[in-house]
Chains A and B, each alone.
Chain A
């Protein structure tokens, strides 16, 4: 019993509710949102420390015993994700102050922003499959509003598509839960896992596993289900895009990880191989997209698909090393994708275009921006002292241990093309001749640069301090590879 773990959900929820009353007073909104964001970071840091010292924390809401009520569970995996989410929420909030514009701020931007964080933190923390659905909907509802807020033509057009895809995938989620409930008769995740282990995963459970893969794959943009993402992510303003790129797809990835390590691990020959193949195909499609485009937003958007593929490949191999690698890479990728989107946003604010062919020579006037971007690009590709390296090493090592040589080789090759795609931005956009751009007002580059610099420093520390961080990562991976730890912590048998 520990009421601490409900706070990362409760603080943004109350903040969002309070902010509704201050909709026309922008400064008050900013202060309230900043303070609550800092509070969330502190609380989630405390949770990580608590889980480190005392093991998995679970909280039965209203003191109903575990399988009967809703249980919130913070194991190391979810508490690390909640901490990362809170940090990213904070820096994107800071960035929003000078970037989102007063019109949007007066129409409940910060309130909806906080509700999105409620959904994401809740999805990471919940221990109940239907509650996960509800938190998905909280997150998606806020993302619809954030996507369409402002109401330009491209936003309206793309929101319709995004909404339609997610309505369908939510209906599929309900269907999947219905099937699962009819087979196992429970909704608590630990109890579901126990029941599936008792019957030894008959074929119907495998079918449900694939249905869950479709549902979460639609949220997380894996290979045949990623088609909605490039268009939808192109539409919103930059802070919203950074929030989506860093958090939304990762919730899908988290859910796949949770269900495939906790529920459906008995017939790994089929389910995990399928997951592995789809992950590899996602990597391939992602890098093709990333090197094909000359639009800086599109390049980073396709890099999300690559990263999702790499993480899920690590999950599909299911060795302790590859699981640890996936956890490490997931956290790294959330940080670095947020940083890259924010940097791309600054480039667009400075030049007024996202077409790479119309940009060059930025390094002369904006050296800080250029070098931050350079370090972020190196971290994305996985150059040793930075954070992308260790995750990928562990995933590849796990892949070779699991005798999945082709997949591991493709993961390695993909790094090269990712590096190419991101250096294409650096070389063409920052080097070369100086150009003049017609932008109406000068962008507040110094202020905007604070957030990506914080993230890049974090990413560097995350890479350099990996000795200190790896025990946490391995603790997370241990729970993933041995479901009985999770089950015992929740059901207390």
Chain B
């Protein structure tokens, strides 16, 4: 199971890298979304995918899944959610002000000589 997940995560990273190397800003943001999906899945996988009950003490099971990676992922998800929301609004503002979503055109030498 871990090996399958490793391949999935690898493909996600590959897609994310490809998207983030493109010119359009929206494709780049989609790429960052996929990158964080990959990172979160990797965190889950690396915590171990052995069978066990959901980490609820009421289940009264003999073995539970590791609760720590799940807490870490939850933290990482909300952080990347906040950052992505900020990034999207920033991209919107940049589109309004600069009139382009092409990163190649966002260099400019104004104030950078």
**Chain A residues near B (Cβ < 8 Å):** 130, 133-134, 137, 141, 144-145, 148, 151, 153-154, 156-157, 159-161, 163-164, 167-168, 170-171, 174-175, 177-179, 181-182, 187, 231, 234, 295, 355
Chain B residues contacting A134 (CB-CB under 8 Å) are 75, 79
Residue of B at shortest CB range from A179?
Answer: B46
Contact B32 A167 (CB under 8 A): yes
B68 to chain A, nearest CB (A): 8
Residues of A within 8 A of B36 (CB): 167, 171, 174
B76 beta carbon closer than 8 Å to chain A:
yes
Q: Is the CB of A156 within 8 A of B86?
A: no
Query: Are A157 and B94 in touch, CB under 8 angstroms?
Result: yes
Contact of A175 among B39, B68, B75, B98 (CB under 8 A): B39
Given contacts A141-B82, A174-B76, contact A231 B97 (CB under 8 A): no
CB distance from A185 to the nearest CB of B (A): 9
Chain B residues whose CB sits within 8 angstroms of the CB of A157 once the complex forms? 94, 98, 106-108
Known: A141-B82, A163-B83. A153 touches B42 (CB 8 A): no
Partner of A151, one of B35, B97, B103, B112: B97
**Are A234 and B112 neighbours in the complex by a CB distance under 8 Å?**
yes
Q: Which residue of B lies closest to A297 (CB)?
A: B111
Question: Whose C-beta in chain A lies nearest to the C-beta of B36?
Answer: A171
Q: Is the CB of A163 within 8 A of B75?
A: no
In the complex, which residue of chain B has the Cβ closest to the Cβ of A131? B75
The answer to whether B98 touches A164, judged by C-beta atoms less than 8 angstroms apart, is no
- Which residues 63-83 of B sit at the A interface, judged by CB distance below 8 A? 68-69, 72, 75-76, 79-80, 82-83
CB interface residues, B 97-113, toward A, < 8 Å: 97-98, 103, 106-108, 110-113
**Are A171 and B98 closer than 8 Å at their CB atoms?**
no
Residue of B nearest to A182 (CB): B46
A153 close to B46 (CB less than 8 A): no
Residues of B within 8 Å of A170, CB to CB, are 79-80, 83
Pairs across A and B, CB under 8 Å, 26 listed? A133-B76, A134-B75, A141-B82, A144-B90, A151-B93, A153-B98, A154-B108, A154-B110, A154-B112, A156-B97, A157-B107, A160-B91, A160-B106, A163-B87, A164-B28, A164-B32, A168-B32, A170-B80, A174-B36, A175-B42, A177-B43, A181-B43, A181-B46, A181-B47, A181-B72, A234-B112
The A-B contact count (CB < 8 A) is 103
Q: Is the CB of B39 within 8 A of A163?
A: no
CA distance A492 to B98 in the complex (A): 57
A130: which B residues are within 8 A, CB to CB? 72, 75
Contact with A along B42-59 (1 / 0, CB 8 A): 110111100000000000
Q: Give the distance to chain B from A107, nearest Cβ to Cβ, in Å.
A: 14
Q: Top 10 nearest A-B pairs by Cβ distance?
A: A182-B46, A178-B46, A174-B39, A178-B43, A156-B94, A171-B39, A171-B35, A167-B32, A137-B79, A157-B106
Q: For residue A152, give the distance in angstroms from its CB to the closest CB of chain B.
A: 8
CA distance A156 to B43 in the complex (A): 33
Q: Are B110 and A153 within 8 A (Cβ)?
A: yes
Cβ contacts under 8 Å, B47 to chain A: 178, 181-182
Instruction: Tell whether, in the assembled complex, residue A231 and residue B112 are in contact, meaning their CB atoms are under 8 Å apart.
Output: yes
Bound CA span A187–B36, Å: 20
Q: Are A160 and B90 interface neighbours, CB within 8 A? A: yes
B86 in contact with A174 (CB, 8 Å): no
**A153 CB contacts on chain B under 8 angstroms:** 97-98, 108, 110
Closest chain B residue, CB of each to CB of A354: B111
Nearest-neighbor residue (CB-CB) of B110 within chain A: A154
Contact A156 B90 (CB under 8 A): yes
Give the residue of B42, B69, B75, B83 whose beta carbon is less than 8 angstroms from that of A167: B83
Q: B20 touches which one: A151, A164, A177, A187 (CB < 8 A)?
A: A164
A residues less than 8 Å from B68 (CB atoms): 181, 187
Is B113 a contact of A295 with CB atoms below 8 Å? yes
A181 and B69: CB pair below 8 A?
A: yes
Q: How close is B4's CB to chain A, nearest CB, in angstroms?
A: 16
Least CB distance from A470 to B in Å reads 40
* A160 and B83 contacting across the interface, CB-CB below 8 Å: no
Given A174-B42, A187-B68; 16 other pairs, CB 8 A cutoff: A133-B76, A151-B97, A156-B97, A160-B90, A164-B87, A167-B80, A168-B20, A171-B36, A174-B40, A174-B76, A177-B43, A178-B45, A179-B46, A181-B72, A182-B48, A295-B113
Q: How far is the CA of A178 from the CA of B36 in the complex (A)?
A: 13
A105 to B86, CA, bound (A): 20
Q: Shortest beta-carbon distance, A219 to chain B, in Å? A: 15
Q: Are A159 and B90 in contact (CB under 8 A)?
A: yes
- Give A47 Cβ to nearest chain B Cβ, in Å: 27
The smallest beta-carbon distance between B28 and chain A, in angstroms, is 6
Residues of B within 8 A of A164 (CB): 20, 28, 32, 87
Determine the distance from Cα of A163 to Cα of B93 in the docked complex, in whole angstroms: 14
Residues of chain A within 8 A (CB-CB) of B93 are 151, 156
Q: In the complex, what residues of A have CB within 8 A of residue B110's CB?
A: 153-154
CA distance A154 to B106 in the complex (A): 9
Note all chain A residues with C-beta closer than 8 A to B82.
141
In the complex, chain A residues whose CB is within 8 Å of the CB of B32: 164, 167-168, 171
Q: Are A178 and B39 in contact (CB under 8 A)?
A: yes
A-chain residues with CB within 8 Å of residue B80 when the two chains form the complex: 167, 170-171
> Known contacts A153-B110, A157-B98, A174-B40: does B46 contact A141 (CB below 8 Å)?
no
* Chain A residues with CB under 8 A of B97: 151, 153, 156
Measured in the bound complex, the distance between the Cα atoms of B28 and A167 in whole Å is 11
Q: Chain B residues with Cβ under 8 A from A181's Cβ?
A: 43, 46-47, 68-69, 72
Which A residue sits closest to B48, measured CB to CB? A182
